[in-house]
Structure 1
Amino acid sequence: MTVLDVSSLDPDVNQDAVVGRTLRQIAWSRLRKDRVAVVSMYVLGLITFIAIFGPLISKLLGVNPYDFNTDLLNDAGSLPLGPFGGVSLEHPLGVEPLTGRDIMARLLFGSRISLFIAVSATIITVVMGTVVGIVSGNSRGKTDAVLSRFMDITLAFPLLLVIIAMSPVLEQRLQAWGMPAGNPSRITTLILVLSIFGWPYLARLIRGQVLSLREREFVEAAISIGSSNSRILWRELLPNLWAPILIYATIAMPGLIGAEAALAFLGISVIPPTPTWGSMLEESVGYFTVDPFYFCVPLTMLLAAVLSFNLLGDALRDALDPKAGRN
């Protein structure tokens, strides 16, 4: 029988070792290999850059979203001179009919406001939904029953009609509490009404996740050793909830962007001449037959943002799925 001499093994030989990866590392690896997700992230990064630095870009280009340029309109004073709505080196996306305001400058300024409304509403929705969902799922008993019925009642409201009815009342109440009239109170109203009726969807999702996690062995072990509720919440539950929260936030963003655009058609948006994607789209509809390029510019930006968020949300859901094959 031959005995293996362990001392004869070369210690310098690189021995392959199995290295474990966290869910975050696995998800990021999957996202980087997903071309659709990568393109979506680049598009959203560009839109975010435009939203943050839009006013600076507009200033560097020497255009202002509020300046009237009637000399760029025809003799009737309504339609832009030149093809594609007055496209030129000075005005790369043309000018508005009737006013002659630079469309690119208004798009740059409007991107900031549209994304600010959507991001703020998403943050409030996620925070409210997560808190209520965790409290409901972790408490059980009467607290769970009351919160569950409150979610059901909130979801039963006809969303659009309630928003139309609540917006003027809420805006007046904000002004009575000292908030400046005009766009500050109007934008705050939009954020609040979109958030108030958005959180129950996430709350129900989080409640179901918490109820499932409460039956898992690691949570039962934490309870058996006498861990406090706060420790179980922060150390056991929340780390396992960030994936559905992130996916929901990514998918909720395009819905809120579209909701702001829809409310603009109903007159429940920022006060003119302040632009948003929705208000620009609403203003351009009347000129679609005579100046379709004016209509296509805000529509393209809106579609790019909504489509990119939806595709990224789908990619995140696939990447964070623990049942998917490891890449």
Structure 2
Amino acid sequence: MSDPSAASIVSTPRPEQLTEASSPATAGPAGKKEKPRSLLGDAWIDLRRKPLFWISATFIVLFVVMSAFPSLFTSGDPTDGVLARSRVEPSSDAWFGYDVQGRDVYARVIYGANASIVVSLLSTIGTLLIGGTIGIIAGYKGGWIDGLLSRITDIFFGLPFVLGAIVILTTFNGAGSNNSEWEIKFLVIGSLVLLSWPVVMRLMRSSVLATKEADYIVAARAMGASTGRIIFKHLLPNCLAPLLVYGTIMIGSFIGAEATLSFLGIGLQSPVVSWGIMINEAQNYLRVSPFLLFFPSAFLVTAVLSFVMLGEAVREALDPKLR
């Protein structure tokens, strides 16, 4: 075999060869030059090869469609109960059986996806916006602004998540309150956002601190680019990767958190249909009618695992060390 280093010394490339070799474009199958791919482009190519991504994405799409259009999956009424069929076991007439009040469990599980998905999605969006904005300001400005915002974040870090949510929801949604369904949902969303944004703030702040001294940021600042342009054009696109991963996992966590709060009786409440409410109602009949607990729990666990697995797949795709 010939030595490549020796060959490179003997054969001096022509100028046009140097130009082609130094070009960032790559040649396609037909000889056409392709533009270099971004980090997200490389991540998408890597994601398409992962069965874990397609499995989790399929379940997530199914739950989202179920949440938006429950009538596509069932024609039953989740609130229509007939005591004569109380705790009737699953059959061809009712795939998941009937609950204590004679309501179709399958219809309630389908309609219960709406509350869980809506609350988790809105909570995640609010958490990312608030935490991400504060993190960018703290990381980019630095100095006393960074110190002040970091100390405020530390205060919220010290609040226990479940205990804080219980205090907030008991205060504004306690016994005797006449809040509507959407008012209760926004109270749950507000409590989740209020207690979760510090983690996002820390992630965004650390990403900005690691990126703001990069050469292209220094060059943009030297050329007179405004702060807004530097943040939205340069910093934000290069700091989104950890937020995408954490946001995807956070949706699954918020689904579980909403079910936990509803199970404790301080979150969503009847007549709202929710997986957590169904689990709460079924806990006293676990031995005699286990199917009342099994089906909503199975949907809840599947939804949480789907978002967690998607976040794990995205993390591996965005981290070059894990490819």
TM-score, with length taken from structure 1: 0.85
One-letter code of the match for 1:184? W
Spell out, residue by residue over 1:136-161, the C-alpha distance to the aligned partner (whole angstroms, 9 max, x if none).
Answer: 00110111000000111100112222
Spell out, residue by residue over 1:229-262, the C-alpha distance to the aligned partner (whole angstroms, 9 max, x if none).
Answer: 1110111101112222211110111111111111
Tell me the C-alpha RMSD between the 2 structures: 1.9
- For 2:63, which of 36, 47, 59 is the aligned residue? 47
How many pairs are equivalent? Answer: 293
CA distance in 1, matches of 2:322, 2:35: 19
Give the structure 2 partner of residue 121 of structure 1. Answer: 123
Give the structure 1 partner of residue 40 of structure 2. Answer: 24
Partner SS, residue 197 of structure 1: helix
- For 1:65, which of 57, 78, 87 is the aligned residue? 78
CA distance in 2, matches of 1:233, 1:217: 15
Return the offset for 1:193: 0.3
Between the aligned residues of both structures, percent identity stands at: 34
Structure 2, gaps ≥5 residues long: 1-28
- 2:316 aligned with 1:303, yes or no? no
Map 1:31-110 onto structure 2 (within 5 A): 31-55=47-71, 57-58=73-74, 61=75, 63-73=76-86, 79-80=87-88, 85=89, 87-96=90-99, 98-110=100-112
One-letter code of the match for 1:221? A
CA distance in 2, matches of 1:14, 1:282: 62
Give the structure 2 partner of residue 4 of structure 1. Answer: none
Partner SS, residue 33 of structure 1: coil
Return the offset for 1:19: 5.2
Partner SS, residue 273 of structure 1: coil
Return the offset for 1:171: 4.3
Return the offset for 1:50: 0.8
One-letter code of the match for 2:52? V
One-letter code of the match for 2:203? L
One-letter code of the match for 2:202? R
CA distance in 2, matches of 1:322, 1:218: 21
Relative to structure 1, the CA distance from residue 20 to residue 113 in structure 2 (aligned partners, 3 Å threshold; closer, same or farther) is same
- 2:230 aligned with 1:217, yes or no? no
Relative to structure 1, the CA distance from residue 14 to residue 40 in structure 2 (aligned partners, 3 Å threshold; closer, same or farther) is closer
Give the structure 1 partner of residue 6 of structure 2. Answer: none
Return the offset for 1:207: 0.3
Partner SS, residue 48 of structure 2: helix
Give the structure 2 partner of residue 139 of structure 1. Answer: 141
Map 1:281-296 onto structure 2 (within 5 A): 281-296=279-294
Return the offset for 1:288: 1.0
Map 1:176-325 onto structure 2 (within 5 A): 181-325=179-323
Relative to structure 1, the CA distance from residue 141 to residue 103 in structure 2 (aligned partners, 3 Å threshold; closer, same or farther) is same
One-letter code of the match for 2:258? E
Spell out, residue by residue over 1:21-57, the C-alpha distance to the aligned partner (whole angstroms, 9 max, x if none).
Answer: 2222211111111001110000111111111111454
Contact 2:126-2:193 at 8 Å conserved across structures = yes
CA distance in 1, matches of 2:242, 2:283: 38
Return the offset for 1:70: 2.1
One-letter code of the match for 1:283? E
CA distance in 1, matches of 2:101, 2:173: 29
CA distance in 2, matches of 1:139, 1:25: 30
One-letter code of the match for 1:30? D
Map 1:159-174 onto structure 2 (within 5 A): 159-171=161-173
Partner SS, residue 42 of structure 2: helix
Return the offset for 1:196: 0.3
